[in-house]
Structure 1
Amino acid sequence: MTEYLEGRFDSWQAWQEKKNFDRQYVVSFIKTPKEVNRWLYVGAYAQSGSKPHSIKGVVYDLTLLPASLDFAGRLTCSYERKGRQAYPFGESVAPTCEVYQLNAEKLHLSEFPGFKKVNVSFGELARIVRQAIPSWRAALENVAGVYLISDQLDGKLYVGSATGAGGIWARWCEYLNGHGENVRLRKLIKEGGAARAENFHFSVLEIADTHTSGADVLLREGHWKEVLLTRLHGHNGN
Structure 2
Amino acid sequence: MLSISKVLQFAGLDISKNIKIARHMDTRGVDVHELYATGHFELYQSYQEKNHFRDCDYLVSCLGIENNQAIFIGVYEVRAINKVNGFPDYLDVPYKGKAKTYSRYKYELKKLSGFEELENRLLIKWESRAQSWCMKFETSEKEIIQLLPKGYVRDFPGYLEINLSFRELQKVIVDPNANNIWHKMLSSVGGVYLIVDTEDGLQYVGSAVGKEGILGRWKEYANNGHGGNKKLREIIELNPERVQNFRFSILQTLPRTLTRNEALIEESKYKHKLGTRAYGLNLN
TM-score relative to the length of structure 2? 0.52
| Cross-structure match for 2:161 | 117
- Is structure 2 residue 78 aligned with structure 1 residue 81? yes
| Cross-structure match for 1:104 | 146
- Out of 180, 190, 205, the position equivalent to 2:237 is 190
Contact 2:76–2:112, Cα closer than 8 Å, also in 1: no
Q: CA deviation at 1:104?
A: 3.2
Give me the whole-angstrom Cα distance separating, in 2, the residues matched to 1:218 and 1:89. 51
* CA RMSD, Structure 1 to Structure 2 (Å): 3.3
Give me the whole-angstrom Cα distance separating, in 2, the residues matched to 1:138 and 1:32. 35
**What per-residue deviation string (whole Å, max 9, x for no partner) do you get for residues 143-185 of structure 1?**
0111011111111110001110110011011112111111110
**Where do 1:78-227 residues align within 5 Å?**
80-83=77-80, 84=108, 86=110, 102-106=144-148, 108-132=152-176, 133-176=179-222, 177-193=224-240, 195-227=241-273
Larger helix proportion of the pair? 1
Give me the whole-angstrom Cα distance separating, in 2, the residues matched to 1:217 and 1:234. 20
Structure 1 unmatched ranges of 5 or more: 1-26, 41-73, 91-96
Give me the whole-angstrom Cα distance separating, in 1, the residues matched to 2:210 and 2:262. 12
- Out of 24, 29, 42, the position equivalent to 1:34 is 24
- Going from structure 1 to structure 2, the CA distance change for 1:186 and 1:76 (only over 3 Å counts) comes to closer
- Going from structure 1 to structure 2, the CA distance change for 1:32 and 1:130 (only over 3 Å counts) comes to farther
**What per-residue deviation string (whole Å, max 9, x for no partner) do you get for residues 72-95 of structure 1?**
xx98876643255847698xxxxx
- Going from structure 1 to structure 2, the CA distance change for 1:215 and 1:206 (only over 3 Å counts) comes to same
Q: Which moved more, 1:142-151 or 1:77-86?
A: 77-86
Give me the whole-angstrom Cα distance separating, in 1, the residues matched to 2:145 and 2:280. 44
Identity %: 34
**How many residues are matched?**
172
Give me the whole-angstrom Cα distance separating, in 1, the residues matched to 2:73 and 2:264. 48
| Cross-structure match for 2:67 | none
**What per-residue deviation string (whole Å, max 9, x for no partner) do you get for residues 173-201 of structure 1?**
111211111111001100122x1011111
| Cross-structure match for 2:133 | none
Letter in 2 for 1:178: G
Give me the whole-angstrom Cα distance separating, in 1, the residues matched to 2:209 and 2:72. 42
- Going from structure 1 to structure 2, the CA distance change for 1:234 and 1:32 (only over 3 Å counts) comes to farther
TM-score relative to the length of structure 1? 0.62
